[in-house]
Amino acid sequence: MAEKAGIKKYALTGASIGFLYLTIFWLFGLQFWYGAKLIVEDDYTVGQKLTVFFAVIQGAVGLSQLGQNAEYIATAQTAAHTVYEIIDRVPPIDTQSNEGKILDKVNGIVEFKNVHFTYPTREDQEVLTDVSFQVRNVGQKPQLW
């Protein structure tokens, strides 16, 4: 699967670079022909012709540099799509809601004993290893954020 994608990617890259150089050299040939025609038939000088020639070369170099960044632009678009999916996600729990029962006093202990935790995407890398602690809350009113 990855091999086919790599072959396709590099075949398209090679074809696009080949087409770019074909276009550049074709334009150079057209420019030399038309420049020679203007020098012979009209009142153009060789200096004017060379000025236009080097301006076209600079433009062609700029266009060739544009193609090199296409991969980075595509990568940035993919990353932005992922970020926007996260931003647009609606969580199942509404943390801004005031619905439900709010207790006046909370008494109790929350205790974690020998907790181990890994994320589902990286099950081989443990984030919490054998964590134990207690949280005591005696007679205090809970605070809303």
Comparing C-alpha atoms, which of 133, 131, 140 is closest to residue 110?
133
Q: Which residue type occupies 139?
A: G
- Cα–Cα distances in Å, from 101 out to 34, 43, 98, 104, 140? 84, 92, 9, 10, 16
pLDDT of residue 109: 80
**81-119 pLDDT tens trace:** 989 998 998 888 787 888 877 777 767 788 889 999 999
Q: Whole-prediction pTM value?
A: 0.36
Mean pLDDT by 10 residues, the chain (145 residues): 79 86 84 82 82 80 76 86 90 81 75 90 90 77 52
SS3 assignment, position 100: coil
CA 50 to chain CA mean position, Å: 41
